[in-house]
């Protein structure tokens, strides 16, 4: 009886509540059914909608039209339920939080792409309306996966949920698992609303080894051993010493991105590398007068994935900074950063078409306007850019630009400021037709992405100092023989070249997964001529001492002399034009794609094969547990396109005097052409890559073999890497990796031969709460040929003992750890020790790769915390202490040791200690 009474009471309560109107959820029409006026009902509805959700019935008294009598009348008729307001954006962000962290950790390898992919995650697209390029631009989604989805949608079979997507015939599990987070099926998870993403990063980023050596290279007079050669004590004789680089501020970046749903987007970023003024430092701090806008990037854009009355047609329109990427990156993929073996698959993807750009790219950034219109059958893009570009310039002794006329003459100014050119050593102030010499175009060597971003006046002051150092005034009775190039004749100049660029891309897709595209761009230079000496005349322009003209006359330097010129003996123009065609198709489990590009030099624009060219073709086959990639490429030495970023083993200028012989250059800063290069080296070769999962225990990880020839000197090389992972338990994994590289494998007697072997064993354990612990050991060997020109000079009385092959060994041990305290706090760390014996070791940290010195230890710790609902923080501290060989130039304040020779001290083992801090704050709302 008691149980029956309780059941009846519960049913009465439910019926009582059901009969009442919930003020927090009732519609306007339901509120109008209450015994109140229509105006009062509307006031309650608008208060709840625009002011706040009701906490209790007495909140009605905050509405001016509701008096106490009305409240008493409503009490028995209404109920105020407990209501939790859900933030759709916050819920979506929490759902994909681990994916955002994963993208952030890959930002170093895919500069600028993480922003775009995060936008896709927060504002995904309807999978039933996406185009082919939309699919293949997503990480780890292949062309085969894209065609599988598109064919299903084309049949009218709408994908309505995640299960439908997985059951799509032809899609791999790997493609499905990556695609599902970037798409929706019916209603978008985050509807039209305004969202913000504000980021700030402070980073005491150290210089890379090559840049460090370049900045330390000394400007030394030819006869520096003479006692009369004196260097004052207030300055040093390298860029590092002159600018006191140790004291400059770190990098910092501030970024704000805004978007309203999937349609309206805008963003602004200020990135200030070392020694650059910006939002946190004034010009006076570092002697630079560059305006903040030179380091600021911005964009405003509109996107519509389904234009009204135009079917499945999408539109993109961007103003400001943007990226343009097409095909395999041979014609157009604008970025400052080079990535070896960029296949276009996995996380080394290319985001096709027009996208906003708030990356750290500065030199090859596009600033202007871009529009893209596409549907499943046809696509077209137009883009224009107008920007000032940094360059290596020919300069006079006073640091001013060398000018160039349209007839190929260098133009100078006399004491009165009148212009002239030299003809057989005679000053000519007019041409044969009687016109006065009046040149206004600068003579430039080529684009450069400078390491030291000082303004031109500051650089000229430094160069004048170095010129004085190189040419000391001898006292009476003393003589001095200057260098063949006695002053800095090639120097970095900021905003030296105004580039007006326009380009277009057309694409036709006759069948699903099959496309044929055409891409071209033209860059106009209205204030400069690009002039690069030919191979026979190159060294006198770039080398300071004639002693090196024969010793460093290497065929690899053809990569320098073959740089593009707007003036040669056969033509004079003011532009660069690149034209290319690309295409691809999917046949079952195989996707084939490729691109062919030509740099217009002295041939016809639309005639194939008469100009320097580059081409790449790849085939990608995919199955459930296996993929296989084959890639062929061939890039001519003369194909020099600054907006190309394609697959290769090495960047352009590798192994040239710009890398190996910085000490001999007229200006060490010329080495920036190599250190900050974004282009692929001229290569031809074939590349194979695969991954195969046998079962739940054994997996052959990413393995590849590359056989290629460096076209500048014909050196043939091979690189192989493979790894095997064994997981007897889900929580335990053991990995073996082997890497082998042979340079000049076709001629073992050549002094350029080297053989490298790398053996790695790692044990990983995946703990509870997604914690992670790994122990890794690596052993390296490098077999190098004898350098007989050093050990056995062909002069009487020298050492006649033959030199043998040299075997260097090195090892490395590391411990990596990740601990998740909870969902909002994570700790990552690593400790490693290495002994290189001359071998370079590398280590992949949380977001970047680091190359170490000869011997040392490194430890780093990073803390990631969600300090509030929308605020994320990451703090990283790293200490690296290592030994290295270097030529260190030190300032000696002792007047008794003012001789320059005493200031050159060679430390066979120099110890460095670097402490770096990176602080990142991210506010997402």
Q: Is 491 helix (H, G, I), strand (E, B) or coil?
A: strand
Global pTM?
Answer: 0.83
Higher pLDDT, 897 or 273: 273
The sign of the torsion formed by the CA atoms of 430, 432, 435, 441 equals: negative
Residue pair 863/891 in contact (Cβ under 8 Å)? The answer is no
Residues 611, 571: Cα–Cα separation, whole Å: 14
Domain boundaries, given as residue ranges, for the chain: 28-83, 101-164+175-190, 767-925
Q: What residues contact 422, with CB distance under 8 A and at least 6 apart? A: 409, 410, 412, 428
On the question of pLDDT at 898 being above 80, the answer is no
495 pLDDT higher than 70: yes
Q: What is the predicted pLDDT for the residue at 146?
A: 93
Contacts of 351 (CB under 8 A, 6+ apart): 113, 116, 117, 137, 323, 325
The set of residues, in sequence order, having a beta carbon less than 8 Å from that of 433 and lying 6+ positions away, is none
Q: Average pLDDT, whole number, for the chain?
A: 83
Cβ atoms of 540 and 377 closer than 8 Å? no
Burial of 10 per CB tally in 10 Å (0-12, 13-18, 19+) = exposed
Residue pLDDT, tens place only, 780-811? 998 877 655 444 444 455 444 445 567 788 89
Q: Looking at the predicted structure, is the pLDDT value of residue 284 above 70? A: no
Among 180-194, 219-233, 652-666, 850-864, the range scoring the smallest mean pLDDT is: 219-233
Band the pLDDT of 286: cuts 50, 70, 90.
very low
Whether 675 shows a pLDDT value over 80: the answer reads yes
Q: How many CB atoms lie within 10 A of CB 76?
A: 8
- How many alpha carbons fall within 13 Å on the CB side of residue 565? 19
Question: In angstroms, what is the C-alpha Rg of the chain?
Answer: 33
> What sign has the CA pseudo-torsion 275, 276, 277, 279?
negative
Angle between helices 88-95 and 97-105 (to 10 degrees): 60
b/e burial code for range 770-808 (CB count within 10 A of at least 16 → b): eeeebebebebbbebbeeeeeeeeeeeeeeeeeeeeeee
Structure confidence at residue 229 (pLDDT) = 53
* CA 710 vs CA 353, 557, 718: distances in Å: 31, 12, 11
> How many Å apart are CA 212 and CA 884, to the nearest integer?
12
Residue 474 is predicted with a pLDDT of 73
Residue 62 has what pLDDT? 86
Let me know the angle formed at the C-alpha of 310 by 317 and 171, rounded to the nearest 5 degrees: 85
Average pLDDT over residues 510-538: 94
pLDDT at 901 over 60: no
Predicted confidence at residue 15, as pLDDT, reads 43
Could you tell me if 139 and 180 are in contact, meaning their C-beta atoms sit under 8 angstroms apart?
Answer: no
Joined tokens for residue 501 = 């660029």
Burial 415-429 (b: 16+ CB within 10 A, else e): eeeebbbeeeeeeee
> What was the pLDDT predicted at 102?
58
According to DSSP, the β-strands at 825-835 and 426-428 are unpaired
β-bridge partners, 710 = 683, 715
Q: pLDDT tens digit string along 564-594?
A: 999 988 888 999 999 999 999 999 899 999 9
For residues 135 and 128, give the distance between their C-alpha atoms in angstroms, rounded to a whole number. 11
Neighbouring C-alpha atoms within 13 Å toward the C-beta of 599: 24
Question: Over 610-677, what HEC string results?
Answer: CCCEEEEEEEEEECCCEEEEEEEEEECCCCCCCCCCCCCCCECCCCCHHHHCHHHECCHHHHHHHHCC
Per-residue pLDDT at 304: 87
Q: In angstroms, rounded to a whole number, what is the distance separating the alpha carbons of residues 93 and 869?
A: 10
What would the pLDDT profile of 163-174 be if each residue is shown by its tens digit?
788 888 888 888
Q: Is pLDDT above 70 for 281? A: no
* Dihedral over Cα of 343, 347, 353, 355: its sign: negative
Concatenating the DSSP letter of every residue in 707-761 gives EEEETTTTEEEEEEEEEEEEEEETTEEEEEEEEEEEESTT-TTSTT-EEEEEEEE
- More confident of the two residues 453 and 444: 444
pLDDT in tens, 642-651: 999 999 999 9
pLDDT at 104: 53
Percentage of the chain beyond pLDDT 90 is 41
Contact indicator for 664, 698 with CB cutoff of 8 Å = no
DSSP 282-306: -GGGTT----GGGGEEEEEEEEESS
User: What is the arithmetic mean of pLDDT over 170-179?
Assistant: 86
| 688-697 pLDDT, tens digit each | 999 999 988 9
């Amino acid at each position: 009886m008691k149980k029956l009474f309780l059941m009846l009471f519960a049913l009465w309560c439910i019926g009582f509540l059901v009969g009442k109107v919930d003020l927090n959820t009732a519609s306007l029409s339901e509120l109008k059914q209450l015994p109140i006026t229509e105006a009062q009902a509307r006031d309650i509805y608008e208060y709840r909608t625009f002011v706040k959700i009701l906490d209790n019935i007495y909140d009605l008294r905050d509405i001016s039209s509701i008096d106490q009598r009305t409240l008493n009348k409503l009490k028995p008729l209404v109920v105020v339920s407990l209501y939790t307001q859900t933030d759709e954006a916050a819920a979506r962000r929490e759902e994909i939080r681990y994916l955002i962290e994963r993208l952030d950790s890959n930002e170093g390898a895919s500069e600028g792409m993480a922003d775009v992919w995060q936008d896709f995650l927060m504002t995904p697209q309807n999978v039933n309306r996406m185009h082919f390029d939309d699919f293949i631009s997503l990480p780890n989604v292949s062309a085969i996966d894209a065609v599988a989805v598109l064919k299903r949608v084309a049949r009218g079979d709408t994908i309505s949920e995640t299960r439908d997507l997985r059951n799509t015939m032809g899609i791999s599990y790997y493609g499905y698992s990556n695609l599902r987070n970037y798409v929706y099926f019916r209603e978008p998870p985050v509807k039209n609303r305004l969202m913000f993403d504000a980021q700030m990063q402070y980073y005491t980023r150290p210089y890379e080894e090559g840049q460090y050596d370049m900045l330390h290279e000394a400007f030394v007079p030819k006869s520096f051993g003479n006692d009369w050669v004196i260097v004052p004590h207030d300055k040093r004789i390298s860029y590092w010493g002159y600018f006191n680089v140790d004291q400059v501020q770190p990098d910092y970046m501030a970024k704000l991105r805004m978007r309203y749903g999937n349609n309206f987007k805008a963003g602004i970023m200020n990135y200030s590398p070392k020694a650059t003024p910006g939002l946190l430092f004034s010009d006076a701090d570092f002697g630079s007068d560059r305006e903040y806008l030179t380091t600021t990037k911005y964009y405003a854009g509109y996107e519509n994935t389904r234009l009204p009355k135009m079917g499945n047609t999408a539109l993109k329109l961007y103003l400001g900074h943007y990226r343009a990427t097409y095909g395999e990156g041979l014609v157009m993929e604008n970025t400052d950063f080079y990535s070896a073996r960029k296949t276009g698959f996995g996380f080394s993807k290319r985001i096709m078409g027009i996208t906003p750009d708030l990356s750290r790219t500065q030199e090859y950034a596009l600033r202007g306007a871009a529009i893209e219109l596409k549907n499943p059958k046809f696509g077209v893009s137009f883009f224009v850019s107008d920007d000032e570009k940094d360059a290596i310039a020919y300069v006079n002794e006073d640091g001013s630009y060398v000018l160039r006329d349209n007839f190929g003459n260098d133009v100078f100014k006399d004491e009165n400021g009148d212009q002239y050119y030299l003809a057989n050593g005679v000053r000519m102030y007019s041409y044969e037709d009687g016109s006065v010499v009046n040149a206004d175009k600068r003579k430039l060597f080529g684009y450069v992405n400078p390491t030291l971003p000082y303004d031109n006046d500051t650089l000229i002051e430094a160069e004048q100092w170095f010129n004085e150092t190189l040419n000391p005034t001898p006292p009476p009775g003393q003589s001095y023989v200057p260098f063949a190039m006695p002053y800095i004749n090639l120097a970095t100049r900021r905003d030296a070249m105004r580039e007006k660029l326009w380009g277009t891309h057309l694409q036709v897709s006759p069948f699903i997964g099959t496309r044929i595209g055409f891409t071209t761009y033209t860059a106009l230079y209205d204030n400069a001529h690009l002039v690069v000496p030919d191979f026979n005349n190159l060294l006198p322009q770039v080398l300071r001492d004639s002693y090196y003209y024969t010793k460093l006359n290497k065929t690899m330097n053809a990569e320098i002399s073959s740089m593009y010129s707007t003036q040669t003996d056969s033509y004079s123009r003011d532009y660069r034009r690149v034209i290319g065609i690309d295409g691809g198709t999917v046949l079952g489990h195989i996707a084939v794609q490729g691109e062919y590009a030509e740099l217009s030099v002295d041939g016809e624009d639309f005639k194939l094969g008469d100009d320097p060219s580059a081409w790449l073709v790849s085939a990608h086959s995919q199955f459930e547990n296996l993929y296989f990639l084959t890639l062929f490429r061939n890039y001519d030495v003369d194909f020099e396109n600054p907006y190309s970023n394609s697959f290769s083993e090495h960047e352009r200028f590798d192994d040239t005097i710009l890398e190996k012989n910085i000490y001999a250059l007229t200006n060490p800063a010329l080495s920036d052409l190599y250190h900050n290069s974004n282009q692929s080296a001229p290569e031809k070769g074939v590349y194979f890559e695969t991954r195969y999962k046998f079962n739940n225990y054994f997996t052959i990880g990413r393995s590849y073999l590359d056989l290629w020839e460096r076209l500048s000197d014909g050196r043939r090389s091979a690189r192989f890497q493979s790894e095997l992972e064994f997981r007897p338990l889900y929580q335990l994994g053991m990995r073996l990796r082997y890497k082998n590289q042979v340079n000049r494998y076709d001629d073992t007697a050549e002094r350029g031969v080297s053989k490298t072997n790398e053996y790695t064993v790692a044990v990983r354990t995946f703990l509870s709460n997604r914690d992670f612990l790994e122990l890794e050991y690596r052993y390296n060997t490098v077999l190098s040929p004898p350098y007989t020109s050093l050990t056995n000079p062909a002069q009487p009385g020298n050492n006649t003992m033959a030199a043998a092959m040299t075997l260097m060994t090195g090892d490395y041990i590391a411990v990596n750890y990740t601990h998740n305290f909870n969902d909002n706090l994570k700790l990552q760390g690593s400790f490693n020790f290495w002994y290189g014996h001359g071998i370079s070791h590398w280590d992949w940290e949380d977001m970047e790769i680091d190359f170490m010195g000869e011997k040392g230890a490194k430890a780093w710790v990073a803390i990631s915390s969600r300090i509030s609902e929308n605020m994320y923080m990451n703090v990283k501290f790293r200490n690296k202490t290592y030994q290295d060989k270097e030529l260190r130039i030190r300032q000696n304040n002792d007047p008794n040791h003012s001789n320059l020779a005493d200031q050159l001290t060679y430390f066979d083992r120099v110890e460095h200690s670097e402490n770096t801090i990176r602080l990142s704050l991210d506010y997402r709302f």
